[in-house]
Structure 1
Amino acid sequence: MAETSTEVPAVSTGTAREYFSEMGPSWVAGAIAAGPATMASLISAGALFDYALLWVVILSAFAGALAQYLAMRLGLLTERGIVTVVEESLGKWWAWILVLDVVIAAGVAQLVIMNTVAAVSSTITGVDARIWGVIWAVILAAGLAGRGYRFIELVAKLLVFGVVIAFLASLFVVPVDLGRAAQGLVPTLPTNSAVVAAGILGGAVHITLITMHSYTMRARGWTEEEYDLASFDIVASMLVAFGIYSVAIFLVTASVLSDPDLTTVGAAAALGPLVGPSAKWLFLLGLGGAAVSTLGGNTIVPPFLVADKLGWGTTVEDSRYRSLLAATAIVSALGAFIGGEVIGQLVLVLALGTVGTPFAIAVVLYLLNSGAVPRPNSTAANAGGVGLLFVSATLATNFVRGQLTGGIDLLSGLVLGFAVILAVATLLLAGKYVRAEVLA
């Protein structure tokens, strides 16, 4: 990777109060990260391994912020969507690989997340989950297609704030052993904890979060002049809000839950007899808010990339994009009809997302160290990016191995095929960079 440049200097000024009022794009990414799949991993980690993986939970917030920072640099320095930049710098087939990678990972996630949202809504209200699936799909279509990006950004900020407050409040009614929690800050991996740790990190460093960021910043009209604001946005959302969300859920479950078979909804129900109904309902409301915010944020990701690849606009002013956005929202209602326990489905979502992430990170690193941007990455940024690439590749390997332990069936075979294609693409991209940027 190139080592001959520095980061863009701070070019904007403003008070913290102004930054708080203007921040937004990274909160949409944070809303997706703070979702039921991440929660399932956090619950499993706390219920299975006590406080031992607290250091992984904290690390995930820093890793997620770093991934968003790299994506932010690419978006601000090019002022274009990532698909357009890939097509111009690498070629149309590379752009199609990236689009298909995101559509598959985000599309499967959309169905499972809708199933989770419908299940939580049904638990709270007693109304059939399938009815809730249709209701939420209509709300999504009307809100997104009618009001566009700013609607989802506003909802994401409100829900993430609410979710963080809900889980923080639950800590006051759950007895946390601070001494044992402190021991969990020491890096160690208990036996059989690698896959759970991978799930925690995979929820923060995910292909949908990386690829969507250039589009959300474009929707806000951000350019290099907003570099400071964009950096503040990432710290506030991914590092602080997402970090608090993750730590709070983990501490609650590690403190009082010890059932390895608990699900996301089951964890909330189990809190009632253990520490009182207030903890149960705070946890359940937090889960519902997290699921809804993730559903809304995830809905906009495939339409962004597909529209960009087809040369359409990526705002609701373009009727083609608006129709694609509404169709994505409506189709997601099918997720509520899947039925079954969501925990296994969430594992598949994490698997697909995780095996797709190394390729996305490699693409961003390639572009940030090529002629695509006026200022290549600094040595520190590249070191962090390569570290992320290594971690994400390791997570992908662990997930694929986990999928294959029970033998290859149709589902695990699809995951394996998806992983192999993207692994080959990542290696080819690395070779292309060496030839073009190192040996040239």
Structure 2
Amino acid sequence: MTAGQVAERHVRARSERQLFRLLGPAFIAAIAYVDPGNVATNLTAGAKYGYLLVWVLLLASAAAVVAQYLSAKLAIVTGRSLPEVLGERLPTKRRLLYWAQAEVTIAATEVAEVIGGAIALQILFGLPLVIGGSVVALVSFGILMLQSRHRQNSFQFVILGMLAIITIGFSSGLAVSHVDWLGALGGMVPRFDDTESVLLAAGIVGATVMPHAIYAHSSLARDRHCPPGRYAPSWRVKRLLQATRWDVGAALGVAGSVNLAMLLLAAAALGGIPGTDTLQGAARAMSDHIAPMIGLVFAIGLLASGLASTAVGGYAGSEIMAGLLRVQVSVLVRRAVTIVPALVILGVGLDPTRALVLSQVVLSLGIPLALVPLVRLTADRAVMGQFVNGVPLRVAGAVVATAIVGLNVVLLILTLKG
């Protein structure tokens, strides 16, 4: 090997190490893709319809890759988050209305995630749901306090640790289940059985591409890659976009695999078992029909999911307020405002799993209001300059936005009819 080849190898190795250090924001945003809402829809789909909706989950995961990449790209190119860009471009009345609907979606997100964590604590320790929800709120507040421009690495480390727990908790049962892999392969063929399967398909998509993940990812990418007051030259932007493609692909590859594992587990082991339409029933069925340890590990994964996702949701809420209202509000105040609805729902005795599913309907209304502006902004040369989306990415963005909006309209209509 010549001296030039040795030098080239060292340069390539150093470049790869630098690229690795740029990864991270997408893994935090990916928590939104393995939250309690995803757990509920994936387990219900697998238990009720077997492998029928595998294709929906795969397409939803692919759509999420496009949405999250565009979110991070906007921040890297402009140095501003999606809420900040919209806050600069919208007139006052429209900006306030946009902020109001975004706050509603954050509250709905908190409902799903606090309820999921409360259910996990009830499964593990028998805690009443209201007490469990309060514990989740307090612990997630502590996690959220780690997040700042100066301490993002600590926040990222904690969230990544929880993502590892979630991955183990939601995937472990698959290793001891007898999956019909030929049937799973057949589930990649697009089709439905009945109206309920269409509803579940829309629910899977609604639980997968969530508005707060789009808002949060742009802010996370800005905090990680765009120091305030510093201009990023084009070569660095290209480098960051390359790292972001790897970051998004890897993070959502993990999240997509976890979701698929849950659906396959439910299809293989929970079909026809009564009570699996609730998270408590699903955990009990895993303990009774697979192994006690599997139900326990699942509950631990559900708890980590609730804690991590509500912390990320709280971060998204603070960024939305800062970007659209241009004010900074205490994290404690924000948490109190957005978590109160979840605690009220638990306190009045509503069916927690039903409330979790209905929260996904509310979120479905917020998806177009986050995704459509993102697709339009990243296709606007006045905003993105030389990094404006090319034709393939424009088409992909338009297809994803149209499909998700359409499916969520179906979700809303079918849920209201039911």
TM-score (structure 1 length as normaliser): 0.81
- Look up the match of 1:409: none
- 1:352 and 2:362 are equivalent in the alignment: yes
For residue 105 of structure 1, report the CA deviation from its aligned partner: 1.1
Name which of structure 1's ranges 252-261 and 359-368 shifts more when overlaid on structure 2: 252-261
Which is further off, 123-132 or 221-230? Answer: 221-230
Rate the CA distance shift 1:119–1:71 in 2: closer, same or farther, 3 A: same
| In structure 1, distance between residues paired with 2:177 and 2:17 | 33
In 1: Cα distance, 2:256 partner to 2:107 partner: 26
Residues 127-179 of structure 1: CA distance to partner in whole angstroms, max 9, x if unpaired? 33322222222223333236546244322211112211233322111111112
1:175 to 1:278, Cα distance in 2 relative to 1, 3 A: farther
1:402-426 residue CA offsets vs partner (Å, 9 max, x unmatched)? 23214xxxxxxxxxxxxxxxxxxxx
Alignment match, 1:96 = 96
The change in CA–CA distance for 1:198 and 1:339 in structure 2 (over 3 A counts) is: same
Once the two structures are TM-superposed, the CA of residue 385 in structure 1 deviates from its matched residue by 0.9
1:290-336 CA distances to partner (integer Å, 9 max, x unpaired)?
222212211221211112223235xxxxxx44454454576465554
Is 1:231 the counterpart of 2:245? The answer is yes
Structure 1 distance, partners of 2:360, 2:203, is 7
1:253 to 229, 251, 266: 266
Aligned to 1:207: 211
- Over 3 Å counting, the alpha-carbon distance change for 1:87 and 1:27 in structure 2 is same
Verify the 8 A CA contact 1:41 1:196 in the aligned structure 2: yes
Aligned partner of 1:399: which letter? L
| Aligned residue identity for 2:262 | I
Offset from partner CA, 1:231-274 (integer Å, 9 cap, x none): 22111111x11111111101100001124752122111111221
Structure 2 CA distance for aligned equivalents of residues 125 and 16 of structure 1: 45
Question: Does the 8 Å CA contact 2:199/2:415 hold for their aligned counterparts?
Answer: no
Give, as a single letter, the amino acid of the residue that structure 2 aligns with 1:251: L
* Distance in 2 between residues matched to 1:280 and 1:346, nearest whole Å: 20
1:379 aligned residue: 391
The two structures, once aligned, show a CA RMSD in angstroms of 2.4
Where structure 1 has 5 or more consecutive residues not aligned to the other structure, the ranges are 1-11, 314-319, 407-440
Query: For residues 394 and 321 of structure 1, do their structure 2 counterparts lie closer, same or farther at Cα, with a shift above 3 Å needed?
Result: same
Residue among 279, 284, 306 paired with 1:264:
279
Aligned mates of 1:39, 1:363 — CA distance in 2:
28
Task: Find the residue that maps to 2:256 and give its secondary structure.
Answer: helix
Given the superposition, is the C-alpha separation of residues 47 and 288 from structure 1 closer, same or farther in structure 2, using an over 3 Å criterion? same
CA separation in 2, counterparts of 1:163 and 1:16?
28
Deviates more, 1:376-385 or 1:365-374: 365-374
Match of 1:369 among 371, 379, 404: 379
2:74 equivalent in structure 1: 74
Checking the alignment, whether the CA contact within 8 Å between 2:42 and 2:259 is kept in structure 1 is yes
Distance 1:97 1:152, change over 3 A: farther
- What is the CA–CA distance in structure 1 between the aligned matches of 2:288 and 2:141, rounded to whole Å? 39
Partner of 1:437: none
Distance 1:263 1:14 in 2: 50
Return closer, same or farther for 1:74/1:338 CA change in 2, 3 Å cut-off.
farther
CA contact (8 A) 1:138 1:329 kept: no
| Cα distance in 1, alignment partners of residues 320 and 172 from structure 2 | 38
Farther off after superposition, 143-152 or 395-404:
143-152
Residue identity opposite 1:351 in structure 2: V
Unaligned ranges ≥5, structure 2: 1-11, 227-231
**Quick check: 126-135 or 171-180, which moved more?**
126-135
Instruction: Output the CA distance in 1 between the equivalents of 2:348 and 2:105.
Output: 17
Q: Secondary structure at the match of 1:176?
A: coil
Distance in 2 between residues matched to 1:329 and 1:154, nearest whole Å: 25
Q: CA deviation at 1:36?
A: 1.0
Aligned residue number for residue 165 of structure 1: 168
Task: Provide the C-alpha distance between the structure 1 equivalents of 2:258 and 2:19, rounded to a whole number of angstroms.
Answer: 21
Q: Which residue of 2 aligns with 1:84?
A: 84
Decide which of 174, 178, 182 is 1:175's aligned counterpart: 178
CA 1:394–1:30: 2 relative to 1, 3 Å: same
- TM-aligned CA deviation for residue 112 of structure 1: 3.4
- 1:413 corresponds in structure 2 to none
Alpha-carbon distance between aligned partners in 1 of 2:168 and 2:255, rounded to the nearest angstrom: 12
* Paired residues of 2:143 and 2:311 also in contact (CA < 8 A): no
Matched, 1:297 2:312: yes
Letter in 2 for 1:171: L
Report if aligned partners of 2:68, 2:248 keep a CA contact under 8 Å in 1: yes
Under a length normalisation based on structure 2, what TM-score does the superposition of the two structures give?
0.85
